[in-house]
Chains A and B, each alone.
Chain A
Amino acid sequence: MADLRDLGNKCTCPSRKFPCKHVLGLLWLNAESIVPFAPAETPAWVSDWLGRRRGTSAAKPAGAAAPAGEKDLRAARTAEPEAAEDPKDAARREAQAAKRNEETERAILDALDALEQWIGDQLRLGLSGFIDDATARCRRIAARLVDGKAAVLAGRIDELPARLLALAAGDRPRGAVVELGKLVLLARAFRAAPRDAEIRRAVASSETRETVLADPQAPHVNGHWEVLAEQVQTRRDGLVSQTTWLLNLGAAGPRFAMLLDFFPASAGRRGSVFTPGERFQAELVFYPSQQPLRALLVRRDAAEETLTHEWPAPDETLSHALTRPLLAEPWTIDVPLLLPQGRIARDDAGHAWWRSADGTDTLPITGSAAGLLAGTELTRTAAIWSGNRLTILAAQTPWGRIAGHD
């Protein structure tokens, strides 16, 4: 938009040139009378912008607005009555927001159609070809999803080849079926309930911090937490994600909490607020979900003596813990687990496995698990199960608490 009185302008593009090419184009269209600019009602965002512009607003002629007389602190303190909002304006804004929402939804649904089409193509062309060319193919559909406003899903598909290539070659077809199957389930779930916050979080974008804090449905949990580990990952989209895993040492509430933070990689490495192993009392608010996991830190209390708290015992059987999350959210990738007593074992090829003390359960482990982790009893282990590999976050041992994979 542009203000013809003083050629002030604003555009939604990220260009740092003022005026940007869009504004220049607009002014040119106006100057040459190429398209008719019919006077119409000022849209709300234009009014907003005009209202924020300093000094030039016709409503505030210089001198007239500032009342003569000395500046008075009391006058500043008296609350000015908020300008009564024009009900028409409010209604219009709401309608526009609803329209925008609808457009977004439409775009996402279109993108999901494209995704399903793409998945069907992969099946028709053969998964062996897909596995060989996963990076390029996923890149293309991810770009389409970004255009279709399904940014979170796009990020997930961008990371898919990496997860697939981490598998043993013989296990990749199965891995591809699981990954693609989850995408179909997620797409169908979105179609069935496009307004569901949880599903939207997995497809398009997360609610803002303010929305979650204001949401009466969001569960608040006040408890003792231990910082299990911190995972820092540079994603393909250039953002660095910093994931902090917390363990609830108390009896009530969700067992794990995940604090997620993003910042641009160009900002450099960021110092952490948390140290693994640190314990504190805090109130967390969880994003509303069937199985609350992602959370925000609302209040952190002064440190107190909580060192005597042992890690709680796992409150369900391992097989239950592995499959229950898949019933509620079949598209879930990472499941945090609290494992019972066990230890690390190696097979002949040198791959590491976690084995329960009674020998009934074995789970393959990411990496080689060297040093102390492999050389002692693990009385409790906190780990992340990603469908085919276990990433150990931290463990309790006779040597005390030790960190898992770094």
Chain B
Amino acid sequence: MTEAIRAEAITAEAIFEAMGAVVTRWTMGSAAASAASFWNAELGDDPVEAELRLLALSGQFLGATVTTEPSSALRVLPDIPALALPTVPETLRPLVRRILAASKDAASRTETVHFLAARGWTTHPADWMPDANDDDAPDVYAAWRDWAAFTAAGATTRRQTGDQLTAENWEDFWPAARKAALIGLRRRDPSAARVLLEAKLGGENADARLRLLSLLSERLSGDDAAFLEELAASDRAPKIKALATSMLARLGHGPAAGEDVAELAGFFSVKMKGLLRRSHVIHIETPKTPAQWQRRKALLDGTDLMSFSGTLGLSPQDLIAAWDWNVDPAADAGLIKLILETGTDAQLEQAAGIVSQHDATGLIVALAPRLAPAERARFAAAGLRTHGIGFEMAQVIAGAAARLDDPLSAPAGAKLLAELQRDDAKPSDHVAELHALGLLASRTAAQQTLQRLTGAGLLQGDPRLDTLRLNAALDDDGENP
């Protein structure tokens, strides 16, 4: 028995060894039957027939016994880590997948992912995972971004991650986790975060420095001025200098007013109005030639809010209050840009408040990224009710999850309902509006909206209602804005 097994093993080995010669001969185009002498009996005497029989036997032998072996040691990727938030319930995954698949671009997918995160959920990794460079992904996905970076880098050892980021364990964190930890630290202890950046920023490349430095805008204060001044003066990268200068300006440390600002002031004049309650009003001189328009834009781009208001003899707050909105859109946009880049948070809020009363929603959109979520939701609601903006615009103002109550009762809702009920309504109409409505509404509002829309004749399974349906079905465990 043992001998039989050995004999068989030897035969298989012998066949295997002979196969090399057989395949080589065929590759070159010569007869191979003589190289497989152990099959003499099976192959027969006819040389043409013998080749075919050998081909059949060899094919079967190679197909059954030979499989490719890895040429090098295999590397197993680490497990995809669990995130701080739960994945969406199994029953809702098909809906999430459909919404993600229907999203035309990365930005719109990110919107959905932010909506989920704001409501306290994350996607299932089989449905969506961020790239390593996906800076727009919510912070909760930092561990997955680092997993992707780890995979792409071909690293073999896993770095340690912990909650506490210090100068000593800085290198132990992958970039996304480091960013998340730094944001956490900045919220808890702003100066400790700054000290850490002062120690470590020099070791990173320009892009990483830019990303890390932008984190300082969270709880920016006078304590950061010295560090920013140093960067503005001596950093190698112009982008970082510009960012540091812009942050300094937000702190009121603008560059000294020069000739440029004086020239800019020539485009504006301050007048008084009112008989009893006298107040300032800024009169905007209309530039006379295209060259002057260009010059004014260039000058506005090159200054900061503090210097600009100073040359007009006003404080930034007074300037914002005295501005004559909606007269010269180009000048409005220039001022908003100044406020956004160089204004303090308080000035930003003041500007947003005034702008929202002046029916200039486009300007709010520009200011929105620096506003607190609750403020954004408030402005979006105000825009919907008083200025009749559409849901898409409101959603851009409000951000990922505004939780508006009853958005459908706004003028945009009435208009949408009317258009959906028109005889010539097409099934592809208003996709974006309905999607935005789904992101804007609170859970209860989403449920009511669904009822009203299906009552108005939309089909239960209409894919345009996907976001609303997800919103209505999703438990709201997230932080309120």
Which residues of A are at the interface with B, using a C-beta cutoff of 8 A? Answer: 116, 119-120, 123-129, 168, 171, 173-174, 177-182, 184-185, 188, 322-323, 326, 330, 343-351, 353, 355, 362-364, 370-372, 374-377, 387-388, 399-400, 402-403
Contact = CB atoms under 8 A, between A and B. Distances in A.
Given A185-B56, A374-B151, 18 more contacts: A123-B55, A126-B27, A177-B22, A177-B23, A177-B59, A181-B60, A181-B62, A347-B70, A348-B75, A350-B154, A355-B74, A355-B76, A374-B77, A375-B77, A377-B79, A387-B63, A388-B67, A402-B126
B56 A181 contact: yes
Contacts of B62: 174, 177-178, 181
A349 B72 contact: yes
Contacts of B205: none
Interface residues of B, number: 46
A372 B29 CA distance: 46
26 contacts: A119-B55, A123-B29, A123-B32, A127-B27, A127-B29, A174-B23, A177-B58, A179-B59, A180-B55, A181-B59, A182-B63, A184-B52, A323-B65, A326-B63, A330-B63, A345-B74, A348-B73, A349-B71, A351-B70, A362-B69, A364-B67, A374-B77, A375-B125, A377-B79, A399-B125, A400-B124
Contacts of A363: 67
A349 B125 CA distance: 25
Most buried by B among A126, A371, A374: A371
Contacts of B5: none
A171 B27 CA distance: 12
Contact of B129 (A168, A180, A346, A371): A371
B67 A347 contact: no
Contacts of B151: 370, 374-375
A99 B56 CA distance: 32
A344 B124 CA distance: 19
Contact of A362 (B63, B74, B78): B74
Nearest to A182: B59
Nearest to B24: A173
A342 to B, nearest CB: 10
A123 B59 contact: no
A76 to B, nearest CB: 42
B80 A346 contact: no
B55 A177 contact: yes
A376 B125 CA distance: 10
Contact of A345 (B22, B75, B126): B75
A119 B154 CA distance: 44
Interface string B58-99: 111011111111111111111110000000001000000000
Given A181-B56, A375-B147, A173 B126 contact: no
Nearest to A346: B75
Given A179-B59, A387-B63, A116 B52 contact: yes
Given A184-B56, A355-B76, A123 B66 contact: no
Closest 7 CB pairs of A and B: A181-B59, A126-B29, A345-B74, A375-B80, A348-B72, A184-B56, A372-B125
A174 B126 contact: no
A376 B79 contact: yes
Given A125-B29, A181-B60, A375 B52 contact: no
Interface string B141-154: 00000010001001
Contacts of A179: 59
Contacts of A128: 27-29
B126 A178 contact: no
Contacts of B24: 173
A174 B19 CA distance: 9
A386 to B, nearest CB: 10
A347 B26 contact: no
A377 B78 CA distance: 10
A343 B65 CA distance: 23
B57 interface: yes
Contacts of B90: 400
Interface in B252-271: none
A364 B68 contact: yes
Contacts of A119: 52, 55
B48 A120 contact: yes
A372 to B, nearest CB: 4
Nearest to A371: B129
A326 B56 CA distance: 12
B405 interface: no
A194 to B, nearest CB: 18
Most buried by A among B22, B26, B28, B151: B26
Contacts of B77: 344-346, 374-375
B264 to A, nearest CB: 52
A343 B59 contact: no
Contacts of B332: none
A371 B125 contact: yes
B433 interface: no
B190 to A, nearest CB: 36
Nearest to B61: A181
A173 B26 contact: yes
A371 B28 CA distance: 43
Contact of B64 (A326, A353, A375): A326
Contacts of A355: 74, 76
A353 B77 CA distance: 12
A399 B55 CA distance: 46
B331 to A, nearest CB: 49
Contact of B73 (A126, A181, A347, A374): A347
A355 B77 CA distance: 12
A171 B68 contact: yes
Most buried by A among B32, B48, B64, B65: B64
Contacts of A180: 55, 59
Contacts of A181: 55-60, 62-63
A120 B52 contact: yes
Nearest to B69: A362
B116 to A, nearest CB: 17
Contacts of B63: 178, 181-182, 326, 330, 387
B70 A173 contact: no
Contacts of A322: 64, 67
A347 B76 contact: no
B340 to A, nearest CB: 37
Contacts of A184: 52-53, 55-56, 59
B59 A372 contact: no
A98 to B, nearest CB: 31
Nearest to A389: B68
B51 interface: yes
Nearest to A375: B80
Most buried by A among B22, B70, B73, B151: B70
A370 to B, nearest CB: 8
Contacts of B68: 168, 171, 364, 388
Contacts of B69: 362
Given A123-B55, A181-B55, A364-B68, A326 B60 contact: yes
Interface in B164-183: none
Contacts of A185: 56, 59-60
B64 A347 contact: no
Nearest to B80: A375
Nearest to A397: B126
A154 B72 CA distance: 39
Most buried by B among A127, A326, A349: A127
Contacts of A129: 29
Nearest to B56: A184
